[in-house]
Amino acid sequence: MSNKILEAKNICKYFHDPTTVQVLDNVSFSIDKAEFVSVIGKSGCGKSTLLYILSTMDTDYQGDLIIDGQVMRNKKEADLAKVRNEKIGFVFQFHYLLNEFSVLRNVMLPGLKLGKYSEQEVEHRAIEKLKILGIENESLKMPNQLSGGQKQRVAIARALINDPLIIMGDEPTGNLDKKNSEIVFQIFKELATVYHQSLLIVTHDNEFAARTNRIIEMEDGRIIKM
């Protein structure tokens, strides 16, 4: 299939401290363009570990990870950083905004790092992303002046700035109340349907997962339902 954007082949992962434990056991699956996928499972089943491997941040694994047709194995740290910058947008449970920078600047940072557009263009694009998320009026505030839900939306805008192939989320609604969770979910849904954005969201909120295109269920390091 030509529109596979991410493929995991037989990924195994061990933790060695204090004793060797296998966390992931032959995990294989793929994600197509514009798919909205969620990964669920009990805590400790390895879903977050899988996500960090897929995001290229964790390089200590066996098996193959192919993003956009490129094999990630044996790539240098700087090249992996470039892949993350260009092709992956990340949303964490905690917003991780830099308090030293304004909201706008936070969104712009990965774009500036990519260096594909001039600073003015990056700024323009950042404002557009904030508009999609309905928080363009907060763009000049500092992150600590925003509410939790708003912060998470800024983090999503930041993930979107470089038009990534895929957005990965590690329990992006885990820290939010019902109302804000719903807003964030609607945003994801809109991104998937209107902008054909691929999404891979790890969650333990079954209600959230139920409304996505596809659910990958994990147990004890294995995929039990796909």
Partner 1 sequence: MKIKLIASVSISLLLARWKQTLVAAIGVTFSITMFITLLSFMSGLNDMLDALILNRTPHVRLYNEIKPTKNQPIDQTEKYKQYYNFISSIKPKNDRAEIYNNSAIMQSLKKDNRVLGYAPKIVAQVFYNVGPIDLTGAINGIDVDEENRLFYLSTYVTSGNFIDLKNIPNSIILGKGAAEKMMANIGDVIQVTTTKGERVPLKVVGYFQSGIAEIDKVQSYATIKTTQKLLGESTSYITDIQVKLKDVLQAPAVAKEYQELYQVEAVDVQTANSQFETGSSIRTLISYSVGVTLLIVAGFGIYNILNMMIYEKMDSIAILKATGFSGKDVNAVFISIALSIGIFGGILGLIFGFGLSAIIDQIPFNTASLPTVKTYPINYNPKFYIIGGIFSIVTTYMAGYFPSRKASKIDPVIIIRGK
Q: Which is nearer to partner 1, 15 or 32 (CB)?
A: 15
- How many residues of this chain bind partner 1 (CB under 8 A)? 32
Q: In the window 37-66, what residues touch partner 1 (CB under 8 A)?
A: 48, 52, 55, 57-58
Output the six-digit token pair for 155: 């983090």
- CA torsion 181→185→188→192, rounded to 10°? 170
Residue in the block written with tokens 């998937």: 192
- How far, in whole angstroms, is CA 33 from its chain's centroid? 14
* Strand ranges (E), 20-153: 21-32, 36-41, 62-67, 70-71, 88-91
> Is position 22 an interface residue for partner 1 (rule: CB under 8 A)?
no
> Is position 78 an interface residue for partner 1 (rule: CB under 8 A)?
yes
Q: In the window 129-148, what residues touch partner 1 (CB under 8 A)?
A: none
> Is position 90 an interface residue for partner 1 (rule: CB under 8 A)?
yes
> Is position 15 an interface residue for partner 1 (rule: CB under 8 A)?
no
> Is the CB of residue 95 less than 8 Å from the CB of residue 42?
no
Question: CA-to-CA distance for 30 and 4, rounded, in angstroms?
Answer: 7
Minimum CB–partner distance for residue 24 and partner 1 (Å):
14
Q: Which of 21, 71, 98, 210 binds partner 1 (CB under 8 A)?
A: 98
Partners of residue 14 on adjacent β-strands:
22
Q: In the window 147-176, what residues touch partner 1 (CB under 8 A)?
A: 158, 162, 170
What's the Cα-to-Cα distance from 72 to each of 82, 91, 143, rounded to whole Å? 12, 21, 34
**Candidate segments 86-94, 183-191, 201-209, 216-224, binder of partner 1 by CB under 8 A:** 86-94
**Candidate segments 9-17, 34-42, 66-74, 91-99, binder of partner 1 by CB under 8 A:** 91-99
Minimum CB–partner distance for residue 43 and partner 1 (Å):
12
Single-letter residue type at 92: F
Side-chain-side CA neighbours of residue 3 (13 Å): 7
> Is position 195 an interface residue for partner 1 (rule: CB under 8 A)?
no
**Candidate segments 5-13, 78-86, 133-141, 210-218, binder of partner 1 by CB under 8 A:** 78-86
Q: Which of 21, 71, 115, 128 binds partner 1 (CB under 8 A)?
A: 115
36-41 sheet: strands from edge to edge? 88-91, 166-170, 198-202, 36-41, 214-219, 222-225
**Interface residues with partner 1 (CB under 8 A)?**
48, 52, 55, 57-58, 77-78, 81-82, 84-86, 90, 92-94, 96-101, 109-110, 112-115, 119, 158, 162, 170
